[in-house]
Amino acid sequence: MSHETPDRLQPQPPLPIVIVGHVDHGKSTLIGRLLHDTGSLPDGKFEELRRQSDRRGVAFEWSFVMDAFQIERDQGITVDTSRIWFTSEHRDYVIIDAPGHKEFLKNMVTGAAGADAAILVIDAVQGVSEQTRRHAYLLSLLGVAQIVVTVNKMDLVGYSRQRFEAVAAEIRGYLANLDVVPETVIPIVARDGDNLTGAEAGEATAMPWWQGPSLVEALDGFRPRPALLDQPLRLPVQDIYRHGDSRIVVGRVESGRLRVGDSVSFSPGQQVARVQSIRSWGSPEHVSAAAGQAVALTLDDEIFVERGHIAAPPESPPQQDNVLQVRLFWLDEVPLEAGDRLIMKLATGRHTVFVQSLDRVIDIEDLKSGLADRVAQNGVAQVTLRSQSKVAFDPHDAIAATGRAVLVRNHRIVGGCVVEAAAQAAASRNLTSVPQTVSGEERALANGHRGGVLWLTGLSGSGKSTLAMALQRRLFERGQQVYVLDGDNVRQGLNRDLGFSPVERSENIRRIAEVARLFADSGTLVVTAFISPYREDRDIARDIIADGFREVYVEADLAICEERDPKGLYKRARAGEIADFTGISAPYEEPVSPDLRLDTGSLSVDAALTVLVEEIDRAFMTPRGERRAAG
């Protein structure tokens, strides 16, 4: 039989398709036979492969067409993705062959991430396997909604229509639970070419009952994804170069368009500049650039831009946050647990992230989800990740290129994820801020000072709490509104649910910063005394508190702190009684550019206190407050 091709199927750009399925279900055989039957093999390739098979004394297999590695032919396992051009009468394709073996799942994900459509191959004898379900779920996860299913090896079930319909019903049901409707499910024999091209569909005497389209006809009905040109500009920065006095921003336009004279913002931070020039390698200046082009830009302003930033229109920038809600697939043999530290590579950005929580772990077999304390190899879960630095991203269903990421541990790819939303944004979607009836200016006028935060950081024993409490007394006696947030006090109440792992330390600091911001907004001078060992966490606190934040490094050598050891903690840490103790078994990252540095190894408490009071007077005091303090 033949199927008329719709008028819309005129020559089009190549359509990238991924071919997935369980090991030994016949993907490589399908590709080899498809290339041969459509005349897409290079001249003489088929004859060459036959001669090679004869020399090696093995039977010819169609899988030899694209199994590029000798190890694959010997072991019968495809270990990497391969890209092959394929042409029908109506369209060019880029075939991405993705491995089916679970050990090579990450290559399947890599291939599927770049595909507009997919062929899911199922063995008629084995039926819908666990790996079939996993591949189907990952296609859905990555946004590949155009799927044609082939039930292969129909000859091994006697070309049984009943068996085909049973397998087709099972896979349709599973895909329906993923909100995916396949274009069609087709019975095939890849080895013999049955139902692969239009000529054979329905005419193969072995399956006269099949009246549907051939595989090629089904593929020709697929549409490319919406044009990237129609999406907002996204240009992840690959690198920054200097050429004479010019600074050149290099990257690839992932979506949208860019013209000389356009204003662009770079996230995170949303620093704005205007594009002065656009160049590409070995070419003169361009007036514009579009999705898919690698370009070098010069800007009209020396704003801060670095690798990992994303250029976008100022009116429609990507989101930016430290806490992300993601759907994650885990590939490592070592299970993923809450508190684990990973590297997340999103576009050109590289971010240190901690697993804040495992929110839902999904059973691939029945798609039920529930709570669990770990994600096993090849598992799928909804997870909250906390980054030490702000992450610029788009929800994956909006702009895929800036909404998916690779996860790395110990220099190995251990998983991947798609970003659904900023976790805080998702949680607060139905919340509305309530404005205060007393302004900050009114509070400052009444108190004689503005609200603000002195963030004291340093090793245990450096003198943070001693200085904080002494400063509180001094300011109170001057008639100022002041309160101390001390590490031990906060952990006994607000943060008593947190331990001392890196992710819990980060959450501890975030909560404290939010509380300190509220105190400062009320007009109070807040003095915090926390080790806060990570620079990124202190930077997050600065972002939360904003203009009223002052970082004070209470500096003392480790030897001095151990000698003081007011709580006996160093002695216990040295004895192995306390795990993750800063300075002994956990790191302390010194501030690079603190607002104030106090060397308590050489300064007395009174001398250090004098410096702190001078800083407060300079940063927060109003003229009325200065007169009050002087009087």
Report the chain's terminal Cα–Cα distance, integer Å.
101
- Output the six-digit token pair for 239: 């690198």
User: Residue 404 is inside which H or E element, if any?
Assistant: strand 404-409
How many angstroms separate the CA atoms of 137 and 34, rounded?
A: 26
How many angstroms separate the CA atoms of 243 and 522, rounded?
A: 49
Q: At what angle are helices 130-141 and 161-177 packed, to 10 degrees?
A: 40
Instruction: Tokens 């006697």: give the residue.
Output: 158
Q: At what angle are helices 605-620 and 464-477 packed, to 10 degrees?
A: 60
Whether 361 and 335 have beta carbons less than 8 Å apart is answered as no
* 440 Ramachandran zone, left/alpha/beta (phi>0; psi -120 to 50): alpha
E strands within 116-196?
117-123, 147-152, 184-187
Given the residues 214, 465, 501, 532, select the one marked as catalytic.
532
How many angstroms separate the CA atoms of 312 and 322, rounded?
A: 19
Instruction: Tokens 């080899």: give the residue.
Output: 32
The verdict on whether omega for the bond into residue 395 sits within 30 degrees of 0, i.e. cis, is: no
Long-range contacts of 301-305 (CB under 8 A, 24+ apart): 301/273, 301/274, 302/247, 303/266, 303/271, 303/272, 303/273, 304/266, 304/269, 304/271, 305/237, 305/240, 305/249, 305/266, 305/271
The edge-to-edge listing of strands for the beta sheet with 549-555 is: 482-486, 525-529, 452-457, 549-555, 596-599
Active site residue 532: yes
Question: Which of 399, 236, 398 minimizes the C-alpha distance to 311?
Answer: 236
Question: Which of 333, 340, 319 minimizes the C-alpha distance to 393?
Answer: 319
How many angstroms separate the CA atoms of 14 and 9, rounded?
A: 12
* 91 Ramachandran zone, left/alpha/beta (phi>0; psi -120 to 50): beta
Q: Which residues are catalytic?
A: 532
